[in-house]
Amino acid sequence: MVDCSSGSVTVPVAGTETGQGAVTLDAVHDLLRDRILGGELAPGSVVSQAHLARDLGVSRSPIREACRMLEREGLVVSRHNHRIQVADFSIGDLEQLYAARLVLEPLALTVRVPLLTADELAEMTGVLDEMRHAAQARDYDRFTVPHERFHEFFRPDVDGGRLERLIRQLSDHARRYRRVYTTQTPSAWDVVIGHDTKILQAVSRGDATTAGAELARHLAGTALSMIALMDPLHDPRLLRTALHQACHIEEGIG
Q: 75 with 197, same domain? A: no
pLDDT of residue 6: 33
Which of 86, 113, 148 is at the close of a domain? 86
pLDDT of residue 248: 62
Q: 96 with 72, same domain? A: no
Q: What is the pLDDT along the chain (254 residues), one digit of tens a residue?
A: 333 333 333 334 443 333 334 568 899 999 999 999 988 999 999 999 999 999 999 999 999 999 999 999 999 999 999 999 999 999 999 999 999 999 999 999 999 999 999 999 999 999 999 999 999 999 999 999 999 999 999 998 766 789 999 999 999 999 999 998 998 889 999 999 999 999 999 999 999 999 999 999 999 999 999 999 899 999 999 999 998 888 764 344 44
Give the contacts of 7 (CB within 8 A, at least 6 positions apart): none
| Residue 48 belongs to domain with CATH number | 1.10.10.10
Q: Which domain holds residue 80?
A: 10-86
Rounded to the nearest 5°, which phi and psi values hold at 15?
120, -5
Amino acid at 231: D
Give the contacts of 158 (CB within 8 A, at least 6 positions apart): 164
Residue 38 lies in a domain: yes
pLDDT of residue 115: 94
CA 192 – CA 53 distance, rounded (Å):
38
**∠ CA 189-220-239 to the nearest 5 degrees?**
155
Q: How far apart are the first and last CA of the chain?
A: 56
Which of 41, 71, 86 is at the close of a domain? 86
pLDDT of residue 19: 39
pLDDT of residue 4: 33
pTM for this entry: 0.81
| Residue 114 belongs to domain with CATH number | 1.20.120.530
pLDDT of residue 22: 55
Number of domains in the chain: 2
Instruction: Burial-class residue 152 by CB neighbours within 10 Å (0-12, 13-18, 19+).
Output: middle
Which of 71, 86, 101 is at the close of a domain? 86
